Homo-oligomer: A and B are copies of this chain.
């Protein structure tokens, strides 16, 4: 299954996660109510777009009053299944894996990285933050107990396809893939790809041929 299937447009789902981040911040600042105009002002996301994104999931907010921050936060968390712990396996204990394990946002959104695997014998048995790095060969055995359904692939390109197959064989049906290749997975498995090169390529496309004036100013 491609992650863009289903009735809700993918950009809407992506924005929901951003709204959630923003609402968590508002809660911390003890803001109780917001209007879609304030959302637009503070996030740059169009107020009509915000209302449309929410409309896929029912009725939200009260005309003339706005949205209750705590309620909206908890409803979006529920839609994204982030109101429950999601156990996640990580394969690849390199720099990227290390950055992911140490990323404070994961716990805040109830993603629980429960195990880290690598096939490098100089890493197995060592710690990545507070997790012991396990032998990749134990993936299925370990996940028969942990029963995580999400996996993060932070391995080199050449290893990615076989590790993905190992994750699926171990019961994982959602994969976040950082390796720059198209994974072949069974139809029930959802893959999201993060490609640093792709992101930079889209930025590169938007570079104008002339640098902006203030960049020239910086020359002298």
Contacts and interface: CB of A to CB of B under 8 A. Distances in A.
Interface of A: 1-3, 6, 8, 10, 13-14, 16-18, 20-22, 42-44, 79-82, 86, 88, 94-96, 98-100, 102-103, 105-106, 108-109, 111, 140, 143-144, 147, 149-150, 152, 169-176, 180-182, 188, 190, 192, 194-208, 211-212, 214-215, 218-219
A80 B201 contact: yes
Contacts of A176: 196, 199-200, 203
Contacts of A79: 205
Copies of this chain, tallied across the complex = 2
B214 A203 contact: no
Contact of A182 (B17, B18, B214): B18
A15 B103 CA distance: 28
Contacts of A207: 81, 86, 149-150, 173-174, 190
A120 B180 CA distance: 31
A3 B196 CA distance: 16
Contacts of A147: 211, 215, 219
